[in-house]
Structure 1
Amino acid sequence: MKIMIRKDSAGILSAYVPKKDLEEPIVQMDKPHLWGGAITLANGWRLELPDLASDTRLPITVEARRLEG
């Protein structure tokens, strides 16, 4: 699914899922950087993100895969 990841002025990362009209803060990352691992949103969804460079600029729209569990 396509998601947009952005960082607000307070430095909080969030993910927006246009198909669901859902925006949630990112509360956990499996890796020290955002890319190439799984993230957890505040609503409990876990998403696997593509492996991009750690200095990739935000906001960005990427293809993510929703993980079960």
Structure 2
Amino acid sequence: MPQLELARMPDRTPVKLTVMVMPDLHLALSDYARIYADTYGREEPIAELIPAILSAFLDSDRGFVRAREALARERAK
């Protein structure tokens, strides 16, 4: 079998999650969506913004990133 430079593509099948949020969080998300639309001139549904918000949060959490890297090294053993 030939060796390719491009690694095997990861699973990109979306996983649907259903969550319930408190009214104050829903209001904050609604406000975020409105400010996003004002900023970028494009409305996006809250359900479309939430994955991006979560990804940005996880990517910015240095403690989580370090711990996750350690976990990945542990799994690779």
Common fold: TM-score over 0.5? no
| TM-score under structure 2 length normalisation | 0.24
Which protein is richer in helix relative to its size? 2
Greater Rg, structure 1 or structure 2?
2
Which structure ranks higher in relative contact order (CA pairs < 8 Å, sequence separation ≥ 6)?
Answer: 1
